[in-house]
Structure 1
Amino acid sequence: MLLAIGLLAACSGRDADQYQGYVEGEFVYVASSQAGRLQNLAVARGDSVARGAPLFALEATLEQAAQQQATQQLHAAEAQYADLQTGKRPPEIAVVRAQLAQAEAADRNAAEQLRRDQAQFDIHAVSQAQLDNSRAQADASRARVDELRNQLSVAALPGRAQQLAALAAQADAARDALAQADWRLSEKSIKAGQAGLVYETMYRVGEWVAAGNPVVRLLPPANIKIRFFVPETVVGSLRTGQAVTLHCDACAHDVAATVRYVSNQAEFTPPVIYSNDARDKLVFMVEAWPAAADAATLHPGQPVAVSLK
């Protein structure tokens, strides 16, 4: 009889060290920042997905058109900037050279005509008006030669610094617009940010999805935790980082977990009036996290018994 009483006492001590709890999951609600009609749902409830796996895609006709427009505007701005840096093309420079050669020939002819008219004027063979006309033609021809020589020099120069700066700014603005268009388009095809279980899908293909509304509810193994409750007499001995052991009916073996949070606020197990006699009714919530490999075997809502170490 004494042996039986001792065994019962031992069993009662082990039961007293076990605390009831349940499995809880911190779900990841996957949504897009853009609105659109759901075009493709790549997963179903209960699927396990790897990081980077496609989850869903929204209709992206407008975003694709905006991306193409931004790409073309960037190419145009870059082409204008490059063109302004190189000066005129060789054929354009050749045209100016030909015009300069014509102007130089006309200048020589005008200078010779002025020399002859000056000689004729000296012997009173031509009028003053004809000499003035020849001198004006010579001056105009010389000015035309100077103009074309300057044009030839300018044709080899790049654009002015202010023009280059303006076109460079336009190219940067077009590049930023393309980056925005790329981002908006990428927001129409959403991939899993981490591996996990597809716990639920909220929309069907063809339905309109507002911006920010979650389409897939994902449960990564690392987001599975245990919540259990300990009495006031035990909470003081708990600390974060402390190891505990989980037991559940469906578990093949006990699961190790680590305490990460101990509540500093008490609550009553039943609704009773607070008094010194009711202090044994106070409990504190504790959260413990199992390893990701073990967490995959647990399910939210599943009851567990927690043993302290």
Structure 2
Amino acid sequence: MKNKRLPVLVLVIVLIAAGAAAYWALHRPKAQTQTLTLYGNIDIRQVQLAFNDAGRIARLRVQEGDTVHKNQPVAQLDPARFQDAVNRAQAVLLAQQNILAKLRAGSRPQEIAGARAGVDAAQAALQNAEGTYKRQQTLVDADFLPRQTLDNAAQALKTAKADAQRAQQALSLALQGPRKEDIAAAQAQVQADQAALALARRELADTELRAPEAGVVENRILEEGDMAASQTPVMTIALNNPVWARAYVPERELGRLAPGMRARIFSDSFPGQAFDGWVGFISPTAEFTPKSVQTTELRAELVYRVRVYACNPQGRLRLGMPVTVEVPLRDNAPQQVPRHACAG
């Protein structure tokens, strides 16, 4: 009887031991991983280039897929009417500068000499009118001439005095030169004309459309001969830098991540190749996991958007490419890394 109970007892002991082992395995503290793995997609910035002014496109210098560098000319408007505006502004400025120079120079010696001669002539005429009036008065008093003759002489004397005063004022103006207010007004007009010329030159320069940064021509929206407007894009350029992976970190892992930490980015398109990067941005607000994640459990979890900048010197990482991001959690203190650290 004892021999029959022994196997049962052994079986019970084995089951108890197995249950204890399973319970311990399920409830033991899990070792914290040394790498945080995130999943996301590659993002880049795109620029839609447009002219500042309306005009007809005379030339497009690049094709779709062409690589462009910063400040490279990519398109041009017909510059004819913009050049005419520059020529007109130059002529207006030159005319106003001459007016200002004339005012600053004041009266010429010949003008002052002419004003002095006018004063001398007016004084001579005044002296003659005074002598005539005195003689006419004597003859009228002696009843040799009618009273009307004396009145005419008096009127002539008054006119001569006014002419003498006017000549003296003209000489005074010639000696003093232009008014300070007139010079200031002319100078202000010169400054306005200089600004108008600078604007015309800027508009002429803006007929040349340039790439703001290095990138790749993604799309030519308009063609040569099309009419361009200030709000109508001519082409789209995908910028080479910065390139980043848009990923999402669960709230429970948020405390292990910080901007400036080093990271590595992997893509299925380049097996075994790691792209160096760093954590550049962590969203301050939570959101639900994007719908592109199909797992129901993950879709209901709150996450924080993370931007992990990547070095992409050969342009292998492309817009929308799915990637895996690995962030080492050991010996990976945050550092101050500029967003364009991989430029050039």
When normalised by structure 1's length, the TM-score is: 0.74
Q: d(CA) in 1 for partners of 2:227 and 2:272?
A: 44
- In the other structure, the counterpart of 1:287 is 307
CA distance in 2, matches of 1:135, 1:280: 113
How far residue 289 of structure 1 moved from its aligned partner, in angstroms, is 0.5
Which of 259, 262, 269 in structure 2 is aligned with 1:243? 262
Query: 1:307 deviation in Å?
Result: 1.6
Match of residue 308, structure 1, among 300, 305, 327: 327
Structure 1 position 253, deviation (Å): 4.9
Give the match for residue 145 of structure 2. 127
Q: Contact 1:58/1:188 (CA < 8 Å) preserved in 2?
A: yes
Matches within 5 A, 1:1-309: 18-113=37-132, 124=142, 126-127=144-145, 129=147, 133-134=152-153, 136-160=155-179, 163-164=182-183, 166-230=185-249, 233-248=252-267, 249-250=269-270, 253-263=273-283, 264-267=286-289, 269-270=293-294, 272=296, 278=297, 282=301, 284=303, 285-291=305-311, 294=313, 296-309=315-328
Query: Displacement, 1:148?
Result: 1.0
Q: 1:214 to 1:131 in 2, by over 3 A?
A: closer
1:112 offset after TM fit, Å? 4.7
Change (3 A) 1:99 1:281: closer
Instruction: Letter of the 1:127 partner, please give it.
Output: L
Deviates more, 1:239-248 or 1:44-53: 44-53
**Structure 1: which amino acid aligns with 2:307?**
E
Structure 2 alignment gaps of length 5 or more: 1-31, 329-344
Contact 1:270 1:281 (C-alpha < 8 Å) held by counterparts: no
- After TM superposition, give the deviation of residue 97 of structure 1 in Å: 3.1
Identity among equivalent positions (%) equals 27
Higher relative contact order (CA 8 A, sep 6+): 1
Q: Distance in 1 between matches of 2:170 and 2:68?
A: 68
Unmatched runs of 5 consecutive residues or more in structure 1 = 1-12, 273-277
Q: Which amino acid aligns with 1:28?
A: V
Q: What amino acid sits opposite 1:27 in the alignment?
A: Q
CA distance in 2, matches of 1:297, 1:194: 18
- Tell me the amino acid that sits aligned with residue 31 of structure 1: A
Q: Work out the CA distance in 1 between the residues paired with 2:128 and 2:251.
A: 116
Distance 1:306 1:156, change over 3 A: same
- Cα distance in 1, alignment partners of residues 271 and 137 from structure 2: 121
What is the Cα-based RMSD across aligned positions, in Å? 3.7
Mark the structure with the bigger radius of gyration. Answer: 2
Instruction: Give the deviation of 1:300 after TM superposition.
Output: 2.3
CA offsets 1:102-141 (integer angstroms, 9 cap, x no match): 333334444455566667778x495364566555544543
Partner SS, residue 318 of structure 2: coil
Matched-pair contact (CA < 8 Å) for 2:50–2:229: no
Amino acid at match of 2:319: P
Tell me, yes or no, if the aligned pair for 2:61 and 2:74 is still in contact at 8 Å. Answer: yes
Q: Which runs of 4+ in 1 moved over 6 A?
A: 118-122
Q: Deviations over 1:237-295 (max 9, x none)?
A: 222222111234448952221112335213162163xxxxx35974844320024x647
- 1:195 aligned partner, one-letter code: A
Higher mean alpha-carbon deviation, 39-48 vs 89-98, is at 89-98
In 2, Cα distance between equivalents of 1:66 and 1:121: 74
Look up the SS of the partner of 1:43 in the other structure: coil
